Structure 1
Amino acid sequence: MSPTRRQIVVGIAGAASAGFASRPAAAQALTGAHAFGFDKPDGRRIPLADYLGRPILVVNTATRCGYAGQMATLEQLWQRYQTRGLMLVAVPSNDFGGQEPLDGAAIAEAARQSYGATYTFAEKTVVRGPEAHPFYRWAAAEKPADTPRWNFHKYLIGRDGALLGGFSAATDPLSPQLVQAIGRELAAG
């Protein structure tokens, strides 16, 4: 008998939080996207649980991608909505066309210098396939039709940690579709 989608998601979330055994039981019980976090280039962590009650936009990025100009429009989105509660996490990835040759803090620095990016950058991360980060495996199980097919795929996470939707690389960060989805989630609080 094969496992249900829920059993797979619960298993992935459990595996992702296994390294946090010293955390309080309440923190271990987090569900949805809040059960995950990303490593930062400086060795610290970005626990998505820190943004419980806030919408989160997770975007896989690459500095040498044809869509890299979206880092500037992501900055505009960030400047417009950060004070209203939006969290933006850039997740650099080399999964598509080898378009992220940089490593560590050099990625965020290149994005800052070229595009004015001031939002949070994770460490370079695998976002597809069997070696994908647990967040991306969870998102793929939640919305199989909305998985990253290229750099600059955007996932919008609701205040409660639910995956509200995926937006393709071709979706501009300031597109009405994405801005309205963020606005609805900000207004819901």
Structure 2
Amino acid sequence: MTEAMLLFWRKGFHATSLRDLGEALDIRMPSLYAAFGSKEALYVEAVDLYMRVTRTLLWQHLENGEPARAAIRALLLATAKELTNDEAHPGGCMVTFATTDEDMPADVVTAIRQAREAWLDIIRERLQVAMKEGELPDSTDVNGLSRFYFSMVQSIGIQAHDGVPYPELETIVDIAMSAWPGSPATSAAPKKSRAA
């Protein structure tokens, strides 16, 4: 399954053929259909595997007991480090680069959108806890701040794919952390929204 994930990651859904998948998994076409049902179903499984792998490598930084600001910074730095490691896997982020246009099968689009929403939820939940515990001002727009840091994860994925080296991404992370409510560079904390 890892081979299929890496293939979809490198080539994308449309450019990956059933022949490619059969060769990557070392199985014949009838066995491929018997095991997975369809290319779409195999892609959904690949996304699920990608989510489990990235949770272990990246998102666990939000669950290890560190203060929220340090945890978000660690997440962003780990994302930059991992996604520029193109010796181990394709550069950039599989889920960030996946398209959700009208030509994509509905099951594939659903899997991609759910993966992105799951990442946003992890950030939002950590920041909600941070506000309850006094790490963030009560006036913090948790929803907006969550989307900001999630957009940084996506931006890092795009720039890593384009070959931006880790030291430059590390600088971006430092700038992003200056937006943290209460940081010296922050002129005022965002106002809390009703959606948060």
TM-score (structure 2 length as normaliser)? 0.23
Structure of greater Rg? 2
